[in-house]
């Protein structure tokens, strides 16, 4: 939770740091901050589990997808950051002016975040709880349900950190997490000693093979074998490099960094015109900050992806093993130890750091997005009530997640490990369509919103270069097509409603309709709030 001033200061451009006026790699690294949070969050949701899984199923060629998606998402992050740094206006505020009932899209994202983030908190805390159960030898305690008690401890610990910390604390913690992960990743790569030429070719080879033959032959992998390849690939698109909500939160954190006009009141139309007519204006030079920050962030994400893909290709694939988020450490312990005795402790340290950083960041993403949406409807009231709003969001996320974790505890404790695992799979069925929207389709929406903002609210001389706008359009189309393919292909008529395309598509349509129906009432309620 961020502890800053309660109201926006006047339009004031901070002085440029030396790192933006010099060509020094070390100086550029000093700007790394908000990107560390994005990297830490996304590595836990994507690289640790899905990069390894992708390596097993598709080999090194999966790296082409990871690289392409990272570049497209980098363009998206820069677009949202650019507008905020130059104008002081967040994209959520611009969404109020979209066609249709005023504010319907912002309300839609609010409803989704209030449901999706607690579910993600319960998922990440359960994975982290599983790790601690393995490390403490309590995996089979309480009929296999001890991991959920560990999960509750993780939720409580991170909640306290969020309540009593602040942006600066979060940034320092996440930089430390990423630094530790980098050391573990580099050391692991050296010990793996992979085929570096094949790895390099994988970054530039856009071919995705079918599943290995042993997937079809083994009964325990029937669920994967029956799943359309594109459902699997679009899942990676949603988690590798982060999700749309991560990037909206990123722009909010730029306010706390006070980069450009992000941390001040929006400059006047006259001042924006002055910036547009002066190519050397200091406000333009601030744009280099998110470019560097995001470049470092996505470079690290690609490096981590390569490391975990390597573990899938070189270690798990030959053993015909599929990484399972419910037992990642247990699955890889024997294999890694046989390769090199130090690989396992390195992997454990990296996995625990990864999931802790992800859980912490997930809490803060929910806080940042809700706060920004409230500010878009009534900035004066939201800024004045900021501590209370943020505290309520944190408690809501933690409380909802605790309920989910306790339900899983009850199921597993009563049913046992084997039946409990089947019950736990329900959360994955719910997360899959949620991820399709938050991780894939939302990225398409934000890309197109960026294009609309530039055409409607940005002077010609401040608009992005044609190739950048083309990148927005391309990224939007890629994310939309992949999201649609994933939602349509995520369908098993014999498996129940949660595995049908109607659950994913109908849920999204339902949220849109509810938002359109309720937005007028919500807007009148929040706009009448007095600071």
Full residue range of the structural domain in which residue 74 is found:
22-266+289-431
Divide the 531 residues of the chain into consecutive groups of 10 and give the mean pLDDT of each group: 47 78 74 78 66 86 88 84 88 90 91 88 86 80 84 91 76 74 70 81 83 80 74 73 80 86 82 87 88 86 84 79 60 55 67 79 89 91 91 93 87 69 62 71 86 87 83 83 74 63 76 90 89 64
Question: Ramachandran region of residue 103, left (φ > 0), alpha (ψ -120 to 50) or beta?
Answer: left
Residue range 139-153, pLDDT digits in tens? 778 887 888 899 999
Q: What is the pLDDT of residue 211?
A: 83
Instruction: Return the SS3 of 408.
Output: helix
Structural domain includes residue 366 = yes
Q: What is the pLDDT of residue 263?
A: 76
Phi and psi torsions of 208, nearest 5°? -120, 110
Give how many domains the chain has, as a whole number: 1
Structural domain includes residue 498 = no
Residue range 422-450, pLDDT digits in tens? 656 666 666 666 767 777 788 888 888 88
The CATH code of the domain that includes 371 is 1.10.4160.10
Structural domain includes residue 420 = yes
The residues, any chain, with a CB within 8 Å of residue 135's CB and separated by 6 or more, are 329, 348, 352
Structural domain includes residue 439 = no
Taking the C-alpha atoms of residue 411 and residue 420, their distance in angstroms, rounded to an integer, is 6
The answer to whether 408 touches 32, Cβ cutoff 8 Å, is no
Place of tokens 């599983």: 130
Structural domain includes residue 1 = no
Question: Ramachandran region of residue 45, left (φ > 0), alpha (ψ -120 to 50) or beta?
Answer: alpha
In whole angstroms, what separates CA 159 from the centre of its chain? 19
Structural domain includes residue 465 = no
Instruction: Return the SS3 of 387.
Output: helix
Q: What is the pLDDT of residue 6?
A: 39
Half-sphere exposure of 506 (CA within 13 A, CB side): 8
The answer to whether 250 touches 85, Cβ cutoff 8 Å, is no
Structural domain includes residue 456 = no
Q: What is the pLDDT of residue 4?
A: 42
Question: Ramachandran region of residue 300, left (φ > 0), alpha (ψ -120 to 50) or beta?
Answer: alpha
| pTM, rounded to two decimals | 0.81
Structural domain includes residue 500 = no
Q: What is the pLDDT of residue 500?
A: 67
Task: Report DSSP letters for 56-85, one per residue.
Answer: HHHGGGHHHHHHHHHHHHHHHHHHHHHHHH
Taking the C-alpha atoms of residue 450 and residue 453, their distance in angstroms, rounded to an integer, is 5
């Amino acid at each position: 939770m961020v502890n800053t001033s309660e109201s926006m200061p006047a339009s004031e451009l901070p002085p440029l740091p030396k790192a933006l006026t010099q060509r020094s790699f070390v100086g550029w690294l000093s700007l790394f901050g908000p990107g560390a949070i994005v990297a830490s969050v996304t590595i836990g949701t994507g690289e640790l589990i899905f990069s390894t899984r992708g390596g097993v199923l598709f080999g090194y060629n999966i790296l082409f997808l990871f690289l392409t998606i990272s570049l497209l998402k980098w363009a998206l992050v820069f677009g949202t950051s650019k507008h905020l740094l130059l104008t002081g206006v967040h994209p959520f505020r611009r969404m109020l002016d979209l066609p249709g009932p005023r504010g319907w899209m912002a309300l839609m994202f609010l409803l989704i975040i209030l449901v999706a983030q607690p579910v993600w908190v319960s998922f990440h805390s359960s994975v982290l709880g599983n790790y601690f159960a393995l490390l403490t030898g309590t995996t089979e305690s309480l009929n296999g349900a001890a991991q959920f008690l560990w999960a509750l401890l993780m939720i409580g610990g991170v909640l306290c950190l969020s309540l009593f910390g602040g942006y600066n604390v979060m940034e320092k913690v996440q930089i430390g997490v990423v630094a530790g992960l980098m050391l573990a990743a580099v050391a692991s790569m050296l010990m793996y000693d992979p085929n570096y030429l094949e790895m390099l070719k994988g970054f530039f080879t856009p071919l995705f093979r079918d599943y290995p033959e042993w997937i079809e032959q083994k009964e325990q992998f029937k669920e994967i074998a029956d799943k359309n390849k594109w459902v699997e690939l679009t899942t990676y698109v949603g988690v590798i490099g982060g999700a749309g909500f991560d990037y909206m939160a990123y722009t909010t954190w730029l306010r706390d960094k006070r980069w450009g006009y992000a941390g001040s009141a929006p400059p006047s139309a006259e001042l924006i015109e002055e910036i547009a007519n002066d190519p050397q204006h200091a406000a333009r030079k601030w744009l280099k900050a998110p470019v560097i920050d995001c470049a470092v962030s996505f470079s690290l994400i690609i490096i981590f992806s390569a490391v975990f893909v390597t573990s899938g290709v070189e270690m798990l694939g030959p053993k015909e093993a599929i990484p399972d988020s419910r037992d990642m450490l247990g699955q890889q312990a024997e294999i890694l130890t046989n390769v090199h005795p130090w690989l396992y402790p390195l992997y454990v340290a990296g996995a625990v750091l990864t999931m802790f950083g992800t859980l912490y960041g997930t809490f803060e993403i929910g806080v940042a997005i809700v706060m920004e949406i409230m500010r878009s409807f009534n900035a004066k009231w939201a800024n004045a009530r900021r501590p209370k709003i943020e505290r309520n969001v944190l408690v809501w996320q933690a409380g909802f997640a605790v309920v989910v974790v306790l339900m899983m505890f009850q199921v597993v404790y009563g049913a046992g490990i084997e039946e409990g695992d089947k019950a736990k799979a329900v959360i994955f069925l719910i997360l899959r369509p949620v991820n399709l929207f938050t991780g894939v389709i939302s990225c398409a929406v934000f890309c197109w919103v960026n294009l609309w903002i530039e055409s409607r609210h940005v002077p010609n001389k401040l608009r992005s270069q044609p190739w950048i706008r083309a990148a927005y359009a391309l990224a939007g189309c890629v994310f939309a097509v992949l999201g649609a393919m994933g939602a349509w292909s995520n369908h098993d008529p014999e498996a129940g409603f949660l595995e049908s395309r109607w659950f994913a598509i109908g849920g999204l349509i339902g949220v849109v309709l509810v938002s359109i129906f309720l937005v007028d009432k919500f807007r009148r309620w929040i706009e009448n709030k007095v600071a």
